[in-house]
């Protein structure tokens, strides 16, 4: 029951906003079934890079490949190709339960057609039953099974972040992009989140995360890329990055 991760290959990607070079000739690779972290000071281009990978921004230059397929140039194709992402601010709407919030992650990929839903055909009921079963499995995995019927927005931030990741997971992404999922969480919540991300990786998922918590990045990532002023300043294992002379000063932005 693996997640079927694939390798990500970002080659020579640049992005300008007006005259500002947000990314300049950035290349990185993330192996299938690995955790890759992007770190760097504010404004260094981390979020822009995530947005390029998930197709929100058009590529000015370069190429982005996922497995054998080119991801570039047509935004919606990234989601279709199996890229899921979470956002810095949880985006769960009011009035829905935890279970419903998780199942909403399936809406972009589910196979039951609108017509079969309207007509309540067996294929629709089967899809509903499958969604229900999968959402319960995901909630059990993240330790939220008891909260299935609670209203999602009323939960603490840490729980909502776990929910965001669960919602991304149920789409069975081949590449999961996490944007500062640990921010605002207490130590226990960070540990649970880290454990979940490791399990996704160990099940074969490819994870790329933007994260400010340096300790978390060191304990979690297989590979770290350090961005500074839109360029890759350093790349390597946690041990290599920790030993890199420029990284700490750049990372702290001093």
Summarize as ranges the residues that interact with ligand ADP (CB under 6 A). 17, 20, 22, 40, 42-48
Closest alpha carbon to 165 in 140, 146, 138: 138
Minimum CB–partner distance for residue 21 and ligand ADP (Å): 8
Type and span of the H or E element at 76: helix 76-80
Contact 51, 23 (CB under 8 A): no
Minimum CB–partner distance for residue 84 and ligand ADP (Å): 19
**Strand bridging mode 35-39 / 223-228:** parallel
Residue number with CB closer to ligand ADP (43 or 238): 43
Minimum CB–partner distance for residue 50 and ligand ADP (Å): 8
Please return the burial class of 184, using the count of CB atoms within 10 Å of its CB with bins 0-12, 13-18 and 19+: middle
Residue number with CB closer to ligand ADP (25 or 100): 25
Residues 6+ away with beta carbon under 8 Å from 247: 226, 233, 234, 241
* Helices marked H in 119-229: 122-141, 157-169, 187-202, 214-220
Helices 157-169 and 187-202: crossing angle in degrees, nearest 10, is 10
Spatial distance between the Cα atoms of 209 and 38, rounded to a whole number of angstroms: 6
The widest CA-to-CA distance across the chain, in whole angstroms, is: 64
Minimum CB–partner distance for residue 20 and ligand ADP (Å): 6
Residue number with CB closer to ligand ADP (20 or 254): 20
Residue number with CB closer to ligand ADP (48 or 206): 48
Residue number with CB closer to ligand ADP (16 or 108): 16
Minimum CB–partner distance for residue 59 and ligand ADP (Å): 15
Residue number with CB closer to ligand ADP (21 or 130): 21
Minimum CB–partner distance for residue 198 and ligand ADP (Å): 24
3-class DSSP assignment, residue 143 = coil
For CA atoms 82, 87, 90, 92, the dihedral sign is: negative
Residue number with CB closer to ligand ADP (16 or 154): 16
Minimum CB–partner distance for residue 246 and ligand ADP (Å): 17
Distances (CA, A) of 211 to 88, 179, 214: 10, 7, 7
């Amino acid at each position: 029951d693996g997640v079927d991760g694939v390798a990500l290959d970002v080659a020579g990607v640049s992005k300008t906003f007006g005259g500002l070079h947000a990314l300049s000739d950035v290349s990185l690779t993330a192996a299938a079934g690995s955790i890759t972290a992007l770190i760097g000071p504010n404004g260094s281009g981390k979020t822009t890079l995530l947005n390029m990978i998930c197709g929100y921004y058009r590529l000015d230059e370069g190429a982005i490949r996922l497995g054998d397929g080119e991801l570039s140039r047509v935004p919606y194709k990234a989601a279709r190709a199996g890229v899921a992402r979470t956002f810095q601010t949880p985006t769960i709407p009011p009035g829905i339960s935890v279970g419903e919030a998780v199942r909403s992650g399936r809406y972009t990929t589910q196979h039951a057609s609108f017509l079969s839903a309207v007509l309540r055909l067996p294929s629709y009921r089967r899809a509903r039953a499958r969604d229900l079963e999968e959402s319960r499995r995901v909630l059990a995995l993240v330790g939220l099974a008891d909260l299935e019927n609670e209203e999602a927005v009323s939960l603490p931030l840490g729980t909502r972040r776990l929910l965001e990741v669960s919602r991304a997971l149920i789409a069975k992404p081949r590449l999961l992009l996490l944007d500062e999922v640990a921010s605002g969480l207490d130590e226990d919540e960070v540990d649970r989140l880290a454990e979940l991300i490791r399990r996704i990786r160990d099940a074969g998922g490819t994870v790329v995360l933007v994260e400010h918590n340096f300790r978390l990045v060191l304990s979690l990532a297989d590979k770290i890329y350090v961005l500074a002023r839109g360029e890759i300043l350093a790349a390597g294992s946690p041990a290599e990055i920790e030993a890199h002379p420029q990284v700490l000063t750049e990372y702290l932005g001093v």
